[in-house]
Chains A and B, each alone.
Chain A
Amino acid sequence: MKDLIQKLSGVYGPSGNEELVSEAIRGEIESYVDEIRVDVMGNLIAIKKGNGTGKKIMLAAHMDQIGLMITHIDDKGFLRFANLGGISVANSVCRRVLFQNGTVGVIGYETELDSWKDITLAKMYIDIGASNRKEAEGLVKIGDVAVYHPLFSVGNGKYIGGAMDDRAGCALLVKTIRDIGDTPNDLYFVFTVQEELGLRGAKTSAYALEPDLAIAVDVTATGDTPKSKPMAVALGGGPAIKIKDASVLAHPMVKDLMINTAQKHGIPYQLEILEYGGTDSGAIHLSRGGVPSGVLSIPCRYVHSDSETIDAGDMDNGVRLLTRILEENISF
């Protein structure tokens, strides 16, 4: 699992630019699935057939990570940028970024500002070491997207890196695809695009697939750090079964299926109530006439930074739980 997470979290793939992640995942699962394809939006869809008596289940994890899109190159070779997804000032100051072609940059800010409160993304820039516009244009162009420089570490059973949101979810699905045994259910594993821009890939893929039920796998925040916002999710407390976030109220049947399966197999779990944010199930559950949907969440500290931190045990138990759920005879 460590190698898989390290590999996937290091692949360049900001929203709208998920191609390399898609290729990497395809390489990991191609020999384990019955069919694999990419749709017009770029979603990677892998199908594992059941024995024909079960449900059609959609699993979704998003391939994209947040990024910084270059909007302007100035005469001195500095780049201005706009955020793709939830890039914040606080998590960006003096961080290193990486472009698809390997160009490295540092995020700086206009230091004549009087107060940190005055810093906005429009007053920040990326320094790629170019001394003029021409030199910069040899390395990047308007519309190119940088990501936080990925640096993977393992610390006391924790995985730390950029893009755990949501390569951890992708890795969880990849491992599930490999581990799963005989199942009555037809499984549609969808590695989605542009989640960070508004659940976009999930919307079109759910429409096209028309599943009977759906489970998204994504990271969620925790409430276990010093003076954090109150939240009853802890790193290492087991995979979290979502009750709600700002995009979805988990369908009771799916939620109960997840809880009952965890209890039946003695898999640790926790319940998640996230007061903000959303994930692919937010789009999936409203597709066509509605899709009963839930979410399996991976507790993650420092979400949307270059040091997103998850727990190895939560990942392993997440795979166990999802695998057991998908092997169930589901009767609703």
Chain B
Amino acid sequence: MSDLLKRLTAAGGVSGDEGRVRAIIIEEITPLVDEVHIDRMGNVTGFKKGTTSNRKVMLCAHMDEVGFIITGIEDNGMLKFATVGSIDSRILPSKRVRIGDNRVPGVMGIKAIHLQEPAERKNAVKARQMYIDIGAGSKDEAERLIKLGDYAVFDSELVYFGDGRVKSKALDDRVGCLTLIESLKGDYPFDLYACFTVQEEVGLRGAKVAAYHIQPDIGLVVEGTTCSDVPGVEPHRHTTRMGNGPAISIADLASYGNKEMVTFLIECAENAGIPFQIKEGVTGGNDAGEIQRSRGGAMTAVISVPCRYIHSPSSVMDLKDLDNTVRLVKEFLKGCESL
């Protein structure tokens, strides 16, 4: 499982450029499902025909990650860029990135501190004040390596550290992708659609068409979510806590969890002795918003793996939380037919 996590997180897959992640997922799920479907938006769905029931259960995780897109090439060979998805631009200076299909290395630069005006020092740095240095000395040289519209991702490897923790880019939401792949290893009475969506980070776009197409009765979204149990943050703003198990959402900005489903998830965890936590906050939103309100509506709920420093090159996660998330999803699938 951890080798797969390494492969999934290493693949660059900024919103709109999910092809590399998609290829890994197709390879992994093809032996596990009856049918692999790729729709016009690029969503991948692994379909497993139910043994006895025609109810449709949709599992959902998004393939895309936050990143960058090249918007300009300066005469001196420096690249201008924009963020794709929500990224705190204050974390960007000096970060290494990889650009385009050839993974051209670059580093994000900004004017040195002693050259900044007092006002510039006071204000949070913005992406448009920065540039990416790819070592090119001229526009011509840069254009031989990259082109406008190329995507860039954080250049960051998965590293194991501490007692069963990892740091990596793109844990949000490759942890969900991994959970879905693991879930496909079981057999279920209902029709199971494991849907790996595109463009979640830019507005739940893939899920919108996938849910319309699938028309699920039940939708369970598996996510990476914010975890702020760190110094300087008051306990009531932690949202989730690392190592306490998968976080079950009551509501977030995109959806209010179906109560029967949320209650059932809690029962599943309690009965199987799986640690879990209730997400303490309603921030953020995810594919459940689109799934719940597709066509005439569906039951939905969200469970998430807590990830510190989410949307950065170095998100931190506890592998036990991921393991327990996989366990909880499997328990849910065993009994969700009763909902």
The chain A residues found within 8 Å of chain B, CB to CB, are: 15-16, 39-41, 69, 71-72, 74, 80, 82-84, 122, 141-143, 194, 197, 200, 203-205, 207-208
A208–B256 contact, CB under 8 A?
no
Q: Can you name 23 A-B pairs with beta carbons within 8 Å? A: A15-B256, A40-B296, A40-B297, A69-B250, A69-B251, A71-B236, A71-B280, A71-B282, A72-B237, A72-B238, A74-B235, A74-B236, A80-B236, A82-B282, A82-B283, A142-B278, A142-B280, A143-B251, A143-B278, A197-B256, A200-B256, A205-B297, A207-B297
B251–A16 contact, CB under 8 A?
yes
Residues of A within 8 A of B292 (CB): 41, 200
Question: How far does the alpha carbon of A246 sit from the alpha carbon of B283 in the complex, in Å?
Answer: 24
Q: Which of A142, A194, A204 contacts B295 (CB 8 A)?
A: A204
Minimum-distance CB pairs A-B, first 10: A204-B297, A143-B250, A16-B256, A208-B296, A72-B236, A80-B236, A41-B297, A82-B282, A71-B280, A142-B278
Question: How far does the alpha carbon of A207 sit from the alpha carbon of B211 in the complex, in Å?
Answer: 14
Question: How far does the alpha carbon of A164 sit from the alpha carbon of B205 in the complex, in Å?
Answer: 35
Most chain A beta-carbon contacts within 10 A, residue among B237, B280, B283, B295? B280
Residues of A within 8 A of B250 (CB): 69, 142-143
Distance in angstroms from A60 CB to nearest chain B CB is: 15
Question: How far does the alpha carbon of A122 sit from the alpha carbon of B250 in the complex, in Å?
Answer: 18
A207–B256 contact, CB under 8 A?
no
Residues of B within 8 A of A141 (CB): 278
B299 at the interface (CB under 8 A from A): yes
Closest to A193 in B: B256
Closest to B238 in A: A72
Distance in angstroms from B280 CB to nearest chain A CB is: 5
Q: Which of A71, A74, A203 contacts B293 (CB 8 A)?
A: A203
Residues of chain B from 236 to 268 with CB closer than 8 A to chain A in the complex: 236-238, 250-251, 256, 258-259
| Residues of A contacting B: mostly | mixed
Closest to A201 in B: B297
Question: How far does the alpha carbon of A194 sit from the alpha carbon of B299 in the complex, in Å?
Answer: 14
Question: How far does the alpha carbon of A278 sit from the alpha carbon of B293 in the complex, in Å?
Answer: 18
Distance in angstroms from A201 CB to nearest chain B CB is: 8
A39-B297 contact, Cβ under 8 Å, with A84-B251, A194-B256: yes
Distance in angstroms from A188 CB to nearest chain B CB is: 13
A200–B293 contact, CB under 8 A?
yes
Residues of A within 8 A of B238 (CB): 72
B298 at the interface (CB under 8 A from A): yes
Residues of A within 8 A of B293 (CB): 41, 200, 203-204
Closest to B295 in A: A207
Question: How far does the alpha carbon of A16 sit from the alpha carbon of B280 in the complex, in Å?
Answer: 17
Residues of chain B from 256 to 306 with CB closer than 8 A to chain A in the complex: 256, 258-259, 278, 280-283, 292-293, 295-299
Q: Which of A16, A40, A205 contacts B298 (CB 8 A)?
A: A40
Most chain A beta-carbon contacts within 10 A, residue among B235, B250, B292? B250
Residues of B within 8 A of A205 (CB): 296-297
Closest to B262 in A: A143
Closest to B218 in A: A40
Question: How far does the alpha carbon of A69 sit from the alpha carbon of B236 in the complex, in Å?
Answer: 13
B282–A84 contact, CB under 8 A?
yes
Closest to A288 in B: B295
A208–B297 contact, CB under 8 A?
yes
Residues of B within 8 A of A16 (CB): 251, 256, 259
Question: How far does the alpha carbon of A65 sit from the alpha carbon of B278 in the complex, in Å?
Answer: 23
Q: Which of B259, B280, B283, B296 contacts A207 (CB 8 A)?
A: B296
Question: How far does the alpha carbon of A332 sit from the alpha carbon of B192 in the complex, in Å?
Answer: 44
Residues of B within 8 A of A80 (CB): 236
Distance in angstroms from B267 CB to nearest chain A CB is: 15
Question: How far does the alpha carbon of A154 sit from the alpha carbon of B251 in the complex, in Å?
Answer: 35
Residues of A within 8 A of B295 (CB): 204, 207-208
Question: How far does the alpha carbon of A192 sit from the alpha carbon of B218 in the complex, in Å?
Answer: 20
Distance in angstroms from B183 CB to nearest chain A CB is: 23
Question: How far does the alpha carbon of A72 sit from the alpha carbon of B238 in the complex, in Å?
Answer: 9
Residues of B within 8 A of A83 (CB): 282
Residues of B within 8 A of A71 (CB): 236, 280-282
Question: How far does the alpha carbon of A289 sit from the alpha carbon of B259 in the complex, in Å?
Answer: 31
Residues of A within 8 A of B251 (CB): 16, 69, 84, 143
Distance in angstroms from A150 CB to nearest chain B CB is: 22
Distance in angstroms from B307 CB to nearest chain A CB is: 19
Question: How far does the alpha carbon of A150 sit from the alpha carbon of B220 in the complex, in Å?
Answer: 36
Closest to A204 in B: B297
